[in-house]
Amino acid sequence: MRSAKLYQYQLPMDTGVILRDQRLVTREGWIVELCNGDTVGYGEIAPLPEFSQETAEQAGEQAQKMLESWVKGEALELASAFPSVAFGLSMAELELAGGLPSEGNYQVAPLCSGDPDDLVEELSKMPGDKVAKIKVGMYEAVRDGMVANMFIEAIPAIRLRLDANRKWTPLKAQQFAKYVKPEHRAGIAFLEEPCKTPEDSLAFALETGINIAWDETVRDEGFEVKAEPGVVAIVIKPTLVGTVQRCLELVKQTHDAGLTAVISSSMESSLGLNQLARFAAWQTPAVIPGLDTMQLFKAQLETPWPNSNLPVTALSELEVVWQN
């Protein structure tokens, strides 16, 4: 016997969370609950403003229609669904089928959003691999170069992940590279999407010896994973990619090409983030996922994130907008 519920959530964000050009004050999304007899599976559907094409409202309407068919015993038509809807529903089906292992990888690559000195201190206390992520491309490229250099000099074992989100022209990218001493460039595990076009990013990697990773490019029309000089990693943001099956396929293609797959957050609530940590432990066990986004919220949802002190809203406190 199938039944399902659709919950709506709104969670307050920390002040100063900026997505591209927009301040994100409240994170909005949906939680689907699929039941079959005594078993239950959850999924989160949360289009990310400025990144997803669909709005939360459109995603919610589509999810409800699909749930209506699902409870009648029909299969979910995930191929034609919005990526966020396809991800949330396929994750709920996977959990319902017992296919998502319970153990998660809760190690994170700390995101440096404030004072670099705070991060240096945090990293010096971090056991194991010292991986950190810094957003670049927001201020002067020269400053970004100096910050990267400073981190590598302060913590020689560091594996820095930098993310320029396609902000730089080739000239700006060169200005950045100039400030990272050649002997320090290996301390950069990868730099995500340095330039506005993939071609310019590839040329940058070849000219500078700085390894790059694809993130936005993974969602470009016609993208295929392939080994290319200078490319070492593929960032997978399931909420933006689509079905769990497509994510599994991307992970496999990435590994077959000899590259690193990094499961990363699209600012899901703690419920969705926990599922991503479980997906990462299962599919990319040797890699620290890019999930350090709980700190951007002011509240959690249902499943607490390890070591977070933020208050937790239970699912039972949310409005059920549809059930059957």
Residue with nearest beta carbon to ligand OSB: 290
Q: Closer to Mg ion at the Cβ: 5 or 166?
A: 166
Q: Closer to Mg ion at the Cβ: 144 or 163?
A: 163
- Shortest CA distance to 112 belongs to which of 155, 170, 59, 54? 155
Sheet holding 212-214, edge to edge: 111-112, 131-135, 159-163, 188-192, 212-214, 231-236, 260-263
Our finding on whether 191 is near ligand OSB (CB under 6 A) is no
Of how many residues is the chain composed?
324
CA atoms of 61 and 63, how far apart (whole Å): 5
CA atoms of 173 and 194, how far apart (whole Å): 7
Indicate which of ligand OSB, Mg ion, none lies near residue 167 (CB less than 5 to 8 Å, by partner kind).
none
- Shortest CA distance to 190 belongs to which of 171, 166, 211? 211
User: Residue 117 to residues 148, 150, 154, 287, 307: CA-CA distances in angstroms?
Assistant: 12, 10, 10, 25, 22
Residues between 155 and 174 with contacts to Mg ion, criterion CB under 5 A: 163
241 and 262 Cβ atoms separated by less than 8 Å: no
Residue 192 marked as a ligand binder: yes
Active site residue 298: no
# chain residues binding ligand OSB, by CB under 6 A = 15
What SS3 class is residue 18?
strand
Q: Closer to ligand OSB at the Cβ: 107 or 266?
A: 266
What SS3 class is residue 158?
coil
CA atoms of 135 and 299, how far apart (whole Å): 24
Of the candidates 33, 95, 144, 215, which one interacts with Mg ion according to CB under 5 A? 215
Active site residue 237: yes
Stretch that binds ligand OSB, among 22-30, 59-67, 136-144, 263-271 (CB under 6 A): 263-271
Indicate which of ligand OSB, Mg ion, none lies near residue 17 (CB less than 5 to 8 Å, by partner kind).
none
Identify the active-site residue in 130, 133, 172, 237.
237
Q: Closer to ligand OSB at the Cβ: 243 or 266?
A: 266
Stretch that binds ligand OSB, among 53-61, 62-70, 223-231, 289-297 (CB under 6 A): 289-297
Residues between 59 and 118 with contacts to ligand OSB, criterion CB under 6 A: 109, 111
Residue 256 marked as a ligand binder: no
Our finding on whether 292 is near Mg ion (CB under 5 A) is no
What SS3 class is residue 47?
coil
State the residues that interact with ligand OSB by CB under 6 A: 48, 51, 109, 111, 133, 163, 165, 215, 264-267, 290, 292-293
| Residues forming the site for Mg ion (CB under 5 A) | 163, 192, 215
Which residues are marked as active site?
135, 237
